[in-house]
Structure 1
Amino acid sequence: MTRSLTRFAALSLCAGLLFTLCTGCAPAAPAPSEAPASSVTAESYAPAPTTIPLPDPLPEPLQPTEEELAALTDAIEAGFRADWDRPGRYLTARLDSVRVIPPEEWADLELPLTSGNTRLGGKSWMDCITDPGGCLLMAQTTTEYTPEALVGVPQYSDGVMTHVYLAVNGDEGWTIADQWAYYKGSELPEPSPDPAQEELGLTRNQWVMLQHQTRALALSGIFRDLDDPLTELTAEEWANYLYARSESWFGLAEDGRTEIPAGTIFRADFTDRISGEDPTLAALENTEEPLPAPCAACEEIKTLLDADPQAIAYSRTGDVVTATLTLPLESGTVAMEYIFGLVPDDPAPFSRTYLQSAHRA
């Protein structure tokens, strides 16, 4: 995927990474006319940035101690956590390294003047390094989206990304005064396949999606024969499924609904459609979409699944994958077979699985 300068700007602004400084480099309040960073990045409204002509000789940056650098690293990581910790968004999300950038590398960064960045109160990053004193930090992050996140076509790319921060040592000690995404990024290295994934001949996205879908079906208590889930599942079962599926798909919103539109979940989990209209659910044709709710045995099922990774076994025949579930519930042992079809990478933008039918084993 293409790396983007705007990815970090939006994430860091949304995460509230800016810290108030008791210096002339304190971030200024944004103008009322600026668009929210969560929808459009500030750069799209700012004048095209120019670069600072670096003086010769360059000023010598301050060097934070090991303890001070560790504290700055914690602050940088905290700025990402609001995004990284969203349930079901990332398979991988980590801060790999933070280092001080030596002056000989500054020219390559091409950092913008304050005309393109209003957060330094009229001072450039070079001014702040000179007074009150500071340095530039380079951080490298690695992120990998879940297949569920890819369904929503995320605005920013994942992968290995480099970020630049202005750190200053003011009256309150070392703080982060500004940040930019650097112009370098790279694709995430392909991880070694899970042995079960390799045996089934599935892509990484298919394997992850399959496990999430099967777990959600189990947590929903859907333990009956289904030849066409879209027409046969009841409104209560849909509510139970949405609740269980939210565990691996961004969680629930304040109003109790799924963070991702329910129709998107239905299309991705129960059809092979790549795009287009969401499917019509027979049970919901003449009623309002139910709020997600746990099934009666949800907690018991979750405890059993978490305690026994072998409760679900997978096999493949042709282009069909069967997930066999065995659960010793208090009400009796449940044995189910969930039959999944495969959506390939081509022509879809990414591969996944979807439920075709379910039968008692």
Structure 2
Amino acid sequence: MTEVGEMTADAAAENPGVMSSRGALLEVRGLRVWFDTPRGQVRAVDGVNLRVEAGRTLGIVGESGSGKSVLSRAIMKILAPSARVLPGSEILLDGVDLATVSPKRNKHLWGVDLAMVFQDPMTSLTPVLTIGQQLTETLRFHLGLDRRAAKTEAIRLLTQVGIPEPATRFGRYPHHLSGGMRQRVTIALAIACSPKLLIADEPTTALDVTVQQQILDLLGDLQATTDMGMILITHDLGVVAGRTDSIAVMYAGKVVETGPTRQLFSHMRHPYTRALMDAIPRLGDPSHTRLPSIPGRPPTVIDPPAGCSFAPRCPSAQARCLVDTPRLEAADDSPHHSTACFYPLGTPAGDTARETNAAAGVTAAGTRIDSRDVI
């Protein structure tokens, strides 16, 4: 199973919820990515560990600004110049520390070992080159194919990802295709050289619901025929349900809950995870039903204060949560399901804390809990 954590390397050795690194395709240890700004240091990713094995899928879930995309770009080594990866951070791919890889070798790493599908397909596609030119350029550079062999392989890839009339669309420009078709082309580019790890950063956000389903099914089918590891990044828990082996929930640059997918869905322990789940619209609800929401606002990650970052919005928060920062720790009854919360759901302490705050109508930080905000 894919395992994820949010601890330093030393702490991981003490935590039964994190498995050993043996056999991991990708392992990230204590990753911290900060941005220096005039207002202070933005701690976009603040101490994250994760593990992905070959043939397995890890889902990373969280609101916008939680650090998901910065995490993926740190793995790909395509961070903005203003970003700093702090000392002690490790990103290992097949045991090779990517921090030590030279820029020249990166050109051969991308596509062959690591590949990424972005949220907006036009980010990956060059508008002045045809689809065929972009595919064949990749194939010729990485695989050394001649022009004719590259064209044959490119058309096969377009067929594989479900592009109708691939030979015709081989000569078209990106703006000639619909958004769903463009995303299929970016997937063809990503898998052209059979990468070991594919990162899909919200690949369906800009697409309609029907096309979303098709793209997610395509990614699943491609993985089923290879031994490729995959990271699926999204803000929607519904997207990762049934499509991942394990899930990491991120909030304010940290992982607050992680575990095998089925177990996490059946026994959500962190209030934030529960809130994300409850915010998903349900087709069975009557029309005009008010959608549950999380009270308050996401926290700033510029020099954040001590304590749990979710405390001001949490229905279980107590005074301790405003002072101490909870560690990601495994549950007693499940060594692979970990939560960073002093009062997790489903425990006597958590139930008591929620009841106390509900009676008072506020969280420990003074945020008023609206009775309609069911989290």
State TM-score, norm by structure 2.
0.24
What is the TM-score of this pair, normalised by structure 1? 0.25
Larger-gyration structure (1/2)? 1
Bigger relative contact order (CA 8 A; separation at least 6): 2
